Amino acid sequence: MRGDLRANLAPWLSVAAAAAAAALTAGGCAMESRGPWLPRPAVMNAPPAPVARMESKAIDEGVGLVGERRYAEAEMKFRRVEVWFQAEGDKARAAECLFWIGFCREKQGRTVEARGQYDKLIRDYPGTAAARQATERMGRLPAEPAPTPPKGN
């Protein structure tokens, strides 16, 4: 009886094992062999989908804070997620965060810092939509004040 059960399940088990291996490979994992007897999954750099959605949601939350004119809180949120997107290689989202950081600084009256943020964005992420927006915003910023000459003795 047991032999019949094993014989009937054997094809299904091999199909299930192949499907599981394919799912792991497609999901960002690969099988790394530590010898022919003990395969071990090696996780690639792909973040789990819930984390990516959470970080994208954080951008939306930051934009909401900007809409409420809570610029300091929004800037902190954008700075946190910008680091994450930069580490993951998502240049468009990292550039978007840098734009919003500059925008928050601009709205707080910190125009010199905003200009520096926009410059960094344009330099590090040229050709992105955020870089084009930063260029436009920089054109609207007041000119930097001339440095005051040192007082003579």
Domains in the chain with CATH codes: 51-140 (1.25.40.10)
- CA angle at residue 147 from 142 to 149, to 5 degrees? 150
Please identify every stretch of the chain with a pLDDT value under 70, giving residue numbers as ranges.
1-54, 144-150, 152-153
- pLDDT tens digit string along 69-106? 999 999 999 999 998 888 888 899 999 999 999 999 99
Helix axes 111-124, 129-140, angle to 10 degrees: 150
DSSP state of 34: S
Q: How far apart are CA 2 and CA 50, in angstroms?
A: 42
In the prediction, which pLDDT does 55 show?
72
